[in-house]
Amino acid sequence: MANVCDCCGRGRVTGNSVSHSNRHTRRTWGINLQNVKVDVGCNESRRMKICTKCLRSGRVRRAV
């Protein structure tokens, strides 16, 4: 699956787009993924797809 955060596992969400006349059509919402170099440990860094929620909350430590 391409659009999934490597840290928390969040992905696409599906639901309905509701028009003014109350018609329902299916649609998807994607998360904001960024390609980031992350410190994995033991002086090792790896490129991962991380959502901005994990970046803001500090769950992931960026490599310098």
Whether the Cβ atoms of residue 7 and residue 60 lie closer than 8 Å to each other: yes
What distance in Å separates the CA atoms of residue 41 and residue 46, rounded to the nearest whole number?
A: 10
pTM of the model: 0.78
pLDDT in tens, 2-34: 899 999 999 999 999 999 999 999 999 999 999
pLDDT in tens, 28-60: 999 999 999 999 888 899 999 999 999 999 999
For residue 61, what are its two tokens? 């430590």
Max CA pair span of the chain: 58
